[in-house]
Amino acid sequence: MKFEKCILITGGAGFIGSHVVRLFVTKYPQYQIVNLDKLTYAGNLENLKDIDKLPNYTFEHGDIVDENYIDSLFAKYQFDGVIHLAAESHVDRSITDPMAFVKTNVIGTCNLLNSAKNLWKGQMEGKRFYHVSTDEVYGELHDPSEFFVETTSYDPRSPYSASKASSDHFVRAYHNTYGLPIVVSNCSNNYGPNHFPEKLIPLMINNIKNWKPLPVYGKGENVRDWLFVIDHARAIDNIFHNGKNGDTYNIGGNNEWKNLDLVHLLCDLMDEKQGNPVGKSRELITYVTDRAGHDLRYAIDASKLMSELGWEPSVTFEEGLSRTVDWYLNNWDWIENITSGDYQKYYTSMYETSAN
């Protein structure tokens, strides 16, 4: 079958990537979608089992850090576009193992940029390299009236955000130096189905269900701006097709929550859905040692994306969170499969030294 375009999506077996792959494979049967993923602890092909037999979907198992492999993949498929999500994505892991973040997030991104530059040399028309990044590159906010805009200076404060900031700079440098057609987006915290249970929301759902302590870092006063993952995927689709060459777009749901308030909400929602007396799960809340260098507040101003490209979130937080909790409760074997083995060992060692 002849396709109109061949698009590489990296990290498509992960949380956000799997939603982006599903959206593109089902919405654009005229595109061949190649999902390249190393299948680290965070990558799970189960996330795509509903679409993996479709004729326009192909999976490639590989590592973006392997330069020769990436070159050969570009030669094999002659990609017209790249949507790059593959990354090490967890701040806590970046504190214990920063070099893994340098390798995948910085060197891996540069390998993809080099292969795209070499393949598209002299014929950049119609090509696009889309780099998916995070709001964490902007650092932390203190003044409640302040929001991250696209021109906010970079001030990454964790090894994770520093590695993402570095990759963002390389993407823009390849645009400026070699004319590589690029777009970058910086998104706030996502939540939704298929989120690995090391991140706040799925970790709390998992621990409430298993009646385990709910580790709240510090006093739970840090603020995050939460967006439903399907709305992030919709924004990526919009920006990939309509974004201006060389531009950056902030993506966010204008939905700020203090961690402790969000944990309370999750406890009450889980109590309600599991038929427990509302308030019962709050007993599990345990204050633990704060994360080193813990950013106080992230908050995105997404007005450029809304006014220029007409994007807006499709679900309220109330609806998105309820759908998320339902998804976990109805797909409990998904979480059970991944919360065994290495994952368990990692978390046991991480929390055994936590103090109140």
List residues binding ligand NAD (CB under 6 A): 10-11, 13-17, 37-40, 42-43, 63-65, 85-89, 104, 108, 132, 134, 164, 187, 189-190, 196
Q: Catalytic pick from 63, 88, 136, 168?
A: 136
Residues 163-192: x where in contact with ligand TYD by CB under 6 A, - otherwise, as a string = --------------------------x---
**Using CA atoms, how far apart are residues 64 and 163, in angstroms rounded to an integer?**
15
42 belongs to the binding site for ligand TYD (CB under 6 A): no
Residue with tokens 């993809």: 112
Residue 287 and residue 289: Cα distance in Å, rounded?
7
* Residue 199 touches ligand TYD, criterion: CB under 6 A: yes
Catalytic residue chosen out of the listed positions 160, 174, 249, 298: 160
Nearer to ligand TYD, 6 or 260 (CB): 260
52 catalytic residue (yes or no): no
CA–CA gap between residue 347 and residue 342 (Å, rounded): 9
First to last CA, the chain: 60
Between 133 and 207, CB nearer to ligand NAD? 133
Instruction: Considering only the stretches 7-15, 105-113, 212-220, 231-239, report the one whose residues sit in contact with ligand TYD under the rule CB under 6 A.
Output: 212-220
How far does Cα 265 stand from its chain's mean position? 22
User: Active site residue: 37, 63, 88, 135, which one?
Assistant: 135
Binder among 105, 115, 185, 259 for ligand TYD (CB under 6 A): 259
- Residue 307, class by beta-carbon neighbours within 10 Å (0-12 exposed, 13-18 middle, 19+ buried)? exposed
**Contacted by 215, from ligand TYD, ligand NAD, none: CB < 5 to 8 Å by type:** ligand TYD
Contact 20, 44 (CB under 8 A): no
For residue 224, the cross-strand partners are 257
222 binds, among ligand TYD, ligand NAD, none (CB under 5 to 8 A by kind): ligand TYD
Which among 134, 147, 152 has a CA at the least distance from the CA of 254?
147
Return the one option of ligand NAD, ligand TYD, none that residue 65 interacts with (CB less than 5 to 8 A, by type). Answer: ligand NAD
The rounded distance, in Å, linking the Cα atoms of 309 and 61 is 34
Phi and psi angles of residue 75, each rounded to the nearest 5 degrees, phi first: -65, -40
Q: Is position 328 annotated as part of the catalytic site?
A: no
Residues in the chain: 356
Euclidean distance between CA atoms 21 and 75, whole angstroms:
21
Question: By CB under 6 A, which span of 40-48, 105-113, 139-147, 215-223 interacts with ligand TYD?
Answer: 215-223
Interface residue with ligand TYD among 16, 34, 36, 203 (CB under 6 A) is 203
C-beta of 54 vs 350, nearer to ligand TYD: 350
Q: Which residue is nearest to ligand NAD (CB)?
A: 14
- Per partner kind, with CB cut-offs from 5 to 8 A, the member of ligand NAD, ligand TYD, none near residue 216 is ligand TYD
Residue from the set 222, 248, 250, 255 that interacts with ligand TYD by CB under 6 A: 222
Residue 339 contacts which entry, ligand TYD, ligand NAD, none (Cβ below 5-8 A, type-dependent) = none
Helix (H, G, I), strand (E, B) or coil at 320: helix
Amino acid code (one letter) for 354: S
Give SS3 for 238: helix
* Piece of 71-79, 198-206, 240-248, 339-347 that binds ligand TYD (CB under 6 A): 198-206
Q: Which is nearer to ligand NAD, 120 or 228 (CB)?
A: 228
Contact 253, 227 (CB under 8 A): yes
| Per CB under 6 A, 284 contacts ligand TYD | no
DSSP 175-206: HHHH---EEEEEE-EEESTT--TTSHHHHHHH
Tell me which residue of 316, 347, 119, 291 sits closest to 227, measured CA to CA. Answer: 316
The yes-or-no answer on residue 351 being catalytic is no
Q: What is the separation of C-alpha 304 from the centre of its chain, rounded to a whole number of angstroms?
A: 20
Residues classed as catalytic = 135-136, 160
Chain residues that interact with ligand TYD, rule: CB under 6 A: 91, 189, 199-200, 203, 215-217, 222, 224, 259, 291
